[in-house]
Amino acid sequence: MDQEVVQALFSAFIVVATMLLVGFPVHEALHAWTAMKLGDNTARFMGRVTLDPRVHFDQTGGLILAGTAVLNALGIFGLLFGYAKPTPVNPMNMRHGRRGHALVAFAGPASNLVIAVIVAIPMRWARGNADAVDFILDNPLGGLFWEVGWLLLTLNVLLFIFNLIPIPPLDGWAVLKGIVPSSFARQLEDLEIQYASVIPMLFFGVLLVIWIGGGGLLGDVIYGIVRFLLGI
């Protein structure tokens, strides 16, 4: 097997492990913690206010992450995707009603943006340091550092943007209902109930469009944010 392919697969393994052990647990734990602070203990009673990755692990979401990471490493598909076990919340228990629920929903994607910024800081410094650039270009470890950083950065920006798309069951749907007027929020809730049977098809339809289009507009937004964070 080609050495570059081996390195790409190893990078993919590191990214998958990092997201399963850190990225996804932080995302879901922040949902749970924010809900608890706003008065809803549903997730706390189920043991979800924790960074223990075993509690948040979802087999299907983990397999999808591993699969897209391998496809990315082989140059077949350009975007990584995966998810953890959804955090259960009860908006009826939260202070501030719909706006409280919107804050809980936004907390998860916000954690991915924070992780992306943390990853981008050393990468941005490396771009502006001649010795670091030489290390990245001439040393396999340097190349591995950059590749892993790029994948982690891209994946967390993807999760931030994708989760804020305003369709159920994504976080963006709850955020949307929390920021629009009450009358419109009720209409959205009625639509959610009325078309509950087609929502899964809508969700997977969006995924299919992203898959077939190789990212399209979503990819442009993601890589635009990545380039901004890296100062490119």
pLDDT in tens, 182-214: 888 888 888 777 776 766 677 667 666 665 555
pLDDT band at 25 (very low <50, low <70, confident <90, very high): very high
Distance from C-alpha of 84 to C-alpha of 52, rounded to nearest angstrom: 12
What's the CA dihedral at 136, 219, 227, 18 to 10 degrees?
-50
Range of the domain at 115: 3-230
**Closest alpha carbon to 171 in 111, 213, 96, 114:** 111
The residue-averaged pLDDT of 88-110 equals 91
**Closest alpha carbon to 35 in 173, 228, 174:** 174
Q: Is the pLDDT of residue 215 over 60?
A: no
- If one counts the domains in the chain, the total is 1
Name the residue with tokens 């919340």: 89
Distance from C-alpha of 58 to C-alpha of 7, rounded to nearest angstrom: 27
**Closest alpha carbon to 101 in 85, 87, 115:** 87
Mean pLDDT, the chain, integer: 84
Distance from C-alpha of 161 to C-alpha of 159, rounded to nearest angstrom: 6
**Closest alpha carbon to 59 in 47, 48, 67:** 67
- Render pLDDT for 42-76 as a digit per residue (tens, 0 to 9): 999 999 999 999 999 999 999 988 998 888 878 77
